[in-house]
């Protein structure tokens, strides 16, 4: 099979990493680019030497004129739904960045539109593809610590997140959609489907619209109690390990810790086994985001496998809808002050 031809929709911050990650995976030709501000798309095309790619300021014009095999949506969140619905209309397989949508009804509509049109729909949810997360999953599956009964996931940072992603400041729902969606997906990936959750949020920055800290407590089908703590509060943290999610998992026979600088420690009565599980570094990645940017490569490879009909992808739209439900159940819990059965 020759290269699949992709239309890139959106050439903002994230496209600077998504595009070279496609080159890393291989088997894909960037055939066309759409961006509302055409000059921005032209700059990205020049940066990545995409001389043969046509550039559009109107997504439908691109779809009418170009012969492409799939669409990769890398826009801000509000543009996700209209573009996914357009993909369904043109019967083109589509990948959409997380978070899928600004609300649950919209996410359900996107999944339903693709299902009805028979169009493969995938969500680019990359945290579960991080090297340290795969190592943690393997350690859990190997059974060193027996059944995990409690896990803490933390992403607490003073990193100036809004400098690179200023649009985040304008979101009504901020940290649980932008970041918590990752930790909720990791909860499902590592500990199974949640059955109940309780959430509290805080707004610390005075100049933003949504919440910038959240605490979510979940119970899973396997009876693991999971505590998620996320913050973009901007507080200085002595050993800031942005953008790593750290873990402390307690099992019936021991504990597993995934801590700063990618240290994985498995402790049982026999002692502690420590190893570093760092991500690969790519020249195109921003070193401040290494572990996240590196994870785009295996995530895209998994999606490409499914696009080529060579297997199932992990993060289909249908699968990610389960994560989106957890995101909005968290907001419902925070608003009502009540735990929610799922």
Binding positions for ligand 89Y, rule: CB under 6 A: 161, 165, 178-179, 243, 292
Closest to ligand 89Y by CB, 27 vs 234, is 234
Helix (H, G, I), strand (E, B) or coil at 337: coil
**Least distance between ligand 89Y and beta carbon 87 (Å):** 22
What residue is closest to ligand 89Y based on CB?
A: 243
* Alpha helix (H) residue ranges in 104-176: 104-117, 131-141, 161-164, 175
**Least distance between ligand 89Y and beta carbon 228 (Å):** 14
**Least distance between ligand 89Y and beta carbon 28 (Å):** 22
Closest to ligand 89Y by CB, 155 vs 328, is 155
Closest to ligand 89Y by CB, 292 vs 303, is 292
What is the H or E stretch that residue 33 is in?
strand 28-34
First to last CA, the chain: 43
User: What's the token pair of residue 299?
Assistant: 């995530």
Closest to ligand 89Y by CB, 170 vs 274, is 170
**Least distance between ligand 89Y and beta carbon 329 (Å):** 20
Closest to ligand 89Y by CB, 56 vs 247, is 247
Q: Using an 8 Å Cβ cutoff, are 318 and 185 in contact?
A: no
Return the ∠ at Cα 103 (arms to 299 and 188), rounded to 5°: 45
User: What's the token pair of residue 209?
Assistant: 């619209």
Closest to ligand 89Y by CB, 34 vs 232, is 232
Closest to ligand 89Y by CB, 274 vs 288, is 288
β-strand 70-73 against 94-97: which pairing, if any? parallel
Taking alpha carbons only, the member of 71, 184, 155 closest to residue 120 is: 71
**Least distance between ligand 89Y and beta carbon 175 (Å):** 9
User: What's the token pair of residue 183?
Assistant: 């930790």
Closest to ligand 89Y by CB, 286 vs 332, is 286
Taking alpha carbons only, the member of 104, 205, 129, 193 closest to residue 160 is: 205
**Least distance between ligand 89Y and beta carbon 243 (Å):** 5
Alpha-carbon span 314 to 298, nearest angstrom: 11
Sorted by sequence, the CB contacts under 8 Å of residue 238 that are 6+ apart come out as none
**Least distance between ligand 89Y and beta carbon 320 (Å):** 13
**Least distance between ligand 89Y and beta carbon 10 (Å):** 14
Return the ∠ at Cα 28 (arms to 34 and 115), rounded to 5°: 70
User: What's the token pair of residue 335?
Assistant: 């608003």
**Least distance between ligand 89Y and beta carbon 17 (Å):** 10
What is the H or E stretch that residue 159 is in?
none
Taking alpha carbons only, the member of 78, 226, 210 closest to residue 151 is: 226
Q: Using an 8 Å Cβ cutoff, are 84 and 71 in contact?
A: no
Closest to ligand 89Y by CB, 46 vs 286, is 286
């Amino acid at each position: 099979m020759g290269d699949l031809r992709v239309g890139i929709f959106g050439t903002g911050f994230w496209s600077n990493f998504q595009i070279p990650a496609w080159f890393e995976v291989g088997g894909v030709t960037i055939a066309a680019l759409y961006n509302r501000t055409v000059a921005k798309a032209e700059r990205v095309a020049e940066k990545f030497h995409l001389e043969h790619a046509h550039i559009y300021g109107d997504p439908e014009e691109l779809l009418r004129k170009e012969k492409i095999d799939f669409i990769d949506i890398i826009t801000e969140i509000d543009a996700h739904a209209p573009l996914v619905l357009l993909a369904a209309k043109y019967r083109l397989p589509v990948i959409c960045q997380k978070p899928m949508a600004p609300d649950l009804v919209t996410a359900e509509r996107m999944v339903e539109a693709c299902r009805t049109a028979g169009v493969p729909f995938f969500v680019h949810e990359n945290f579960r593809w991080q090297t340290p997360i795969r190592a943690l999953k393997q350690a859990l599956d190997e059974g060193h610590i027996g059944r995990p009964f409690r896990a803490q996931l933390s992403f607490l940072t003073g990193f100036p997140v809004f400098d690179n992603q200023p649009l985040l400041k304008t979101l009504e729902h901020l940290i649980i959609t932008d970041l918590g969606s990752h930790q909720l997906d990791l909860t499902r990936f590592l500990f199974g489907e949640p059955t109940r959750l309780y959430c509290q949020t805080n707004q610390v920055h005075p100049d933003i619209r949504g919440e910038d800290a959240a605490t979510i407590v979940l119970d899973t089908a396997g009876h693991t109690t999971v505590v998620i703590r996320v913050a973009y509060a901007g507080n200085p943290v002595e050993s800031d390990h942005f953008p790593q999610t750290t873990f402390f998992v307690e099992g019936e026979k021991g504990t597993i810790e995934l801590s700063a600088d990618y240290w994985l420690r498995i402790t049982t009565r026999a002692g502690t086994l420590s190893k570093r599980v760092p991500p690969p570094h790519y020249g195109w990645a921003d070193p401040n985001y290494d572990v996240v940017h590196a994870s785009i490569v295996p995530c895209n490879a998994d999606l490409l496998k499914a696009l080529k009909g060579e297997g199932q992808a992990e993060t289909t739209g249908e699968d990610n809808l389960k994560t989106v439900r957890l995101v909005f159940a968290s907001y419902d819990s925070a608003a009502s002050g009540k735990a929610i059965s799922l």
